[in-house]
A and B are shown apart, each in its own frame.
Chain A
Amino acid sequence: MDTHTPTLGLEFESGLTLLEVPSPRSTILHRLVGARLTESATEHDPETNATAYWIDARNTAATQVLYDCVSSDRTLESLRVARAFTAYQHHSLVRRVTRQAGPETELIVAPNVASLYHDADLPEWEREGLLAAALETLAELGRVLSCPILVTSADENRADTVAEYAATTLECVRTREGIRLVRSGEEPTDDDGEMGSAIDDTAGYWHGTHWQTTIPYWVDLYGAVAEGQSIVEAYDRGLLEVTA
């Protein structure tokens, strides 16, 4: 068994890859980004342009988790993050990436890619079209730049929509060794075969030369801070006391 690169074996193909994750708070994507940028950091001059983009939804881009996934903070210097809080913003970010990304871009990720498009503030009639446009743009971007575009979805029904645009769909399957990524519809294999790669998500995970603690574990457990509330909402929920 290969003990040195258990998380890094997976070579993502260029184009859109859907990762079906067990929960919106899954930190698998963080680890994959960390692993990918660790690999490329040796080849790239950190002074050059951004090489990876993270289009965030639902406050997934926990910086502590990302830093925990790399042995040196510098590894993440080429990552650019922007958060969307509405589907409109998400769609705009996807379009913005098409303008900013270039040949040097190695990776684009969009966790919970379909999630915001199901919020109540987006009218029913607009959802499908806006999401389709975002996914199509991402898929096209993957083809044009020949770089992997990783998106995740924790919701099965939405995952089906996303899968229509994805070149590859990977499922996260829980095994005794941890979580294993397998191509959709295939059985998890025990050897580190071509089918998938294991990510140990038990107490900690092996990272090259040392054990990291499991910040992802408590992010899963507690989540990031609850969705920020406006003071008005806080009042509506009886959380606030204000005296004139």
Chain B
Amino acid sequence: MSRTDPYAFEFDDGTVREWRLTDRGAEPTLVEDYTPALFVSGPDDALADLRARLESDPKTVETRVERWATDLHEAHVGERSELLRVGCDRVDDVRQLAREIRGVHESGTHAPGTFRLFDVDLEPGFRYCLDRGIDPAPTRELRTLRLELEDRELADGDVSGLRIEDEPVAGEDGGGDPRSALETLRTRLEREDPDVLVVSHGELIPLLSEHATELGFEEDEFHLGRVPGWTQLAGENTYESYGRVGHSPARYRAPGRAIVDTSNSFLWNQSGLAGLEYMVEQTGRPLQEAAWGSIGTLLTSRQIRLARREWAVLAPQNKWEPERFSDLRTLHAADRGGFTFEPKVGFHEDVHEIDFASLYPRIICEHGISPETVDCAHDAGDFVHDSHRVPELGYEVCEHVPEATDGDAAFLPTVLEPLLSDRGDIKARLADDPAEPEASRLRAESGAIKWVLVSCFGYQGYRNAKYGRIECHEAINAYARDVALTAKRRLEDAGWRIVHGIVDSLWVTPREGVEPEPLEAVIDEISADVGIPLEHDGSYEWVCFVPLRDSIPDGPDEGAGAFESGSAGALTKYFGKREAGAYKFRGIELRQRSTPAFVAESQRAFVEALDRERDPEAVCDVLERRLSSLRGGDVDPSALEITTRVSKPLSAYRKRTRTVAALERYERRGIDRQPGQSVRYVVADDDASGPERVRLSFEAGGEYDVDYYATQLVRACESVLSPLGWDRSRIRRALHDGRLLELSAFVD
């Protein structure tokens, strides 16, 4: 019987400890003959020189020349380069060695960029699985144990508040002490022998272990792993990405178990264990490394594995390959985004939303868009090949050359096709209404796939994407525009009118005075025509598209709504009622986090009134009642709380905003608020400039600024009525009791 593949890996001093799942737990195997390697490409003489230098480097165990492709295009045209393979004793040495090759060996004697490095920045577990052909997907159902501490408890180093599987370990009397908390944890670990520790913070690993030592537990008495010991794998790290500061916490390992840090696991939070396991299978990253990977990282891992296995292409360390020089006309045509139909502002009945499912990935697959095929312009050589051109851009897309690689399609389509087809299967299975837990597992997997599919297009344009090319990104966009306009034409021919559309989704309604062709038949035809399934996503009794705020006409002279092309619509602001009865809201106040509950709930009431009466006057009546309870002091102040995110420290704010006033009050009370955290306050006197402008949620006092909230209500009402051509002065005139509103509610 062949042994199953391991699921967890630890690297120490040039050895690897593999953990295989057994029926009862997991067993370790020590591997001593593993030599991780990086690869170097460069001119022959420079490589020979480098090889001689590296042979005396103690980090290096062996050097040899191997034939690999340095990029996808090279593989595509059936070529290979001779690269220097440098084997290292320890996996931790790879990065250091890479730095020395470029920073020391290259910089003294060769021009910068002489050496290109490959397979440098792979995570150890992923690298090992890749090198040894291991599939780290778990071979039986995994047992998890969830451990949590509150942020505050973690900061205080207080482990007595530990919760295991949502249950506090402290007794009901609240008399939890650290010792009994650790005792309880120890018992649970022994009894359940979990394969995965799901922790609220990675720092729980050192915190719990150190407490155990302090409290006199012997090392073999208390250990979070399957054997004693724990290790920090990576330090915490603050990074800046696109002008936003991010933070990744330190990572730890506990031998024999995979750790999932939920404060640093996108995938866990999106899709849970099932999604995680699916991505282990799809990427080849062991569970723990998959858990902390971003979607971009996971997609890259999947690409690296495919490139290595089927294309003999190594993973480049840096992005050296630039785009080609092109004339200005090509750049002008290529450098733009997807197609968006301007929303037709107004109240539309009988509206259908139709979507191209997974538009971008399907364009990639349908047209064979891939870094090696777009604008490949290769000399056909021995291979017979074909090509087609990208609409508008004229980029030539070369057909995949089957003889050149093991894959049977171009690279990017090969990355995506299995995901698309899995997603299709899952959808079909979910349509049969399977029982739990099957259904939630399927949903989790589908969610994980969706994220990767959503990312793959943007990722082609990401500057550090290992296998990304801006030309692919542009080609996909060009096809997407073409698809949208093809669909538009067919729909219009069939008697449908497009009221809105964003890239992959269209909103249509029967053209007035026309009996349109049945929608299902039309979308089937379009699907067949463009090669991408168009799906009927939903039917709406009615939908309102909201105009841009500054495009709402004002002034009594304005004959609003009379002009056929009307006001300019906001692309992502609409609301409507599904035929099944549920409302859908996008972009309007009640979807905004900062909107107070009272205003949000009132806006919902406005929409319901509009639905019921189909009459703006009726909506104004609701507004009138709301305003009068606001004036009468009948509104619970907690429903008026505004929550906003702090974007910078108090000292960095230049303007005296409400957030600043709130921060000043927090400061006054000695409470620290950091950027990224939220503040909650009620507006007490919006005319004040100091901290008295607001009141924090926990501060006493029932006063609120009536006029401020009245303005908020009027605005929320305006969003609902503006599609009907009503502006705030018309709303004002419709109110019977003029005293309810100050004039200030009608000016910005």
Contacts and interface: CB of A to CB of B under 8 A. Distances in A.
Direct touching of A and B (C-beta under 8 Å): yes
Interface of A: 50, 53, 61, 63-64, 66-67, 73, 76-77, 79-86, 88-93, 95-96, 100, 120-121, 123, 125-126, 129-130, 133, 225, 227-237, 242, 244
Interface string B238-271: 0111101010000000000000000000000011
Contacts of A133: 111-113
A84 B322 contact: yes
A73 B443 CA distance: 53
A197 to B, nearest CB: 24
Contacts of A244: 270-271, 443, 446-447, 450
A80 B458 contact: no
A96 B337 CA distance: 28
A83 B470 contact: yes
Contacts of B446: 244
Contact of B322 (A76, A77, A96): A96
5 contacts: A66-B328, A81-B328, A83-B470, A89-B319, A96-B322
A96 B242 contact: no
Interface string B303-327: 0000000000000001111111111
Contacts of A79: 327-328
B450 A129 contact: no
Interface string B457-490: 1110111110000100000000000000000000
B295 interface: yes
A63 B331 contact: yes
Give the top 10 A-B pairs by smallest Cβ distance, nearest first: A244-B447, A85-B463, A89-B322, A63-B332, A231-B458, A80-B325, A230-B458, A88-B320, A230-B462, A82-B325
B255 to A, nearest CB: 31
Contacts of B653: none
A209 B337 CA distance: 35
A227 B464 CA distance: 13
Contacts, number: 127
B32 to A, nearest CB: 32
Given A92-B321, A123-B99, A130-B112, A230 B331 contact: no
Contacts of A77: 327-329
A244 to B, nearest CB: 3
Given A53-B325, A80-B326, A120-B240, A232 B296 contact: yes
Interface string B418-458: 00000000000000000000000001001100110011011
Contacts of A91: 112-113, 320
B187 interface: no
B328 A237 contact: no
Given A81-B331, A91-B113, 8 more contacts: A63-B328, A64-B332, A81-B327, A85-B463, A126-B102, A232-B295, A232-B296, A244-B443
B242 A229 contact: yes
Contacts of B459: 230-232
B633 to A, nearest CB: 35
B107 interface: yes
A82 B321 contact: no
Contacts of B99: 123, 125
Q: How large is the interface on B (under 10, 10 to 19, 20 to 34, 35 or more residues)?
A: 35 or more
Nearest to A53: B325
A92 B320 contact: yes
Interface string B139-183: 000000000000000000000000000000000000000000000
A59 to B, nearest CB: 8
A225 B335 CA distance: 11
Contacts of B103: 125-126
B678 interface: no
A90 B242 CA distance: 19
Nearest to B241: A233
Interface string B28-55: 0000000000000000000000000000
A93 B320 CA distance: 9
Contacts of B458: 228-234
B322 A236 contact: no
Given A123-B99, A126-B102, A133-B111, A92 B322 contact: yes
A229 B271 CA distance: 23
A81 B325 contact: yes
B464 A236 contact: no
B319 A236 contact: no
B593 to A, nearest CB: 9
Interface in B211-225: none
Given A66-B328, A130-B113, A237-B242, A93 B294 contact: no
A6 to B, nearest CB: 25
B112 A236 contact: no
Contacts of B451: 242
B112 A86 contact: no
A122 to B, nearest CB: 8
B96 to A, nearest CB: 12
Contacts of A64: 332
A225 to B, nearest CB: 8
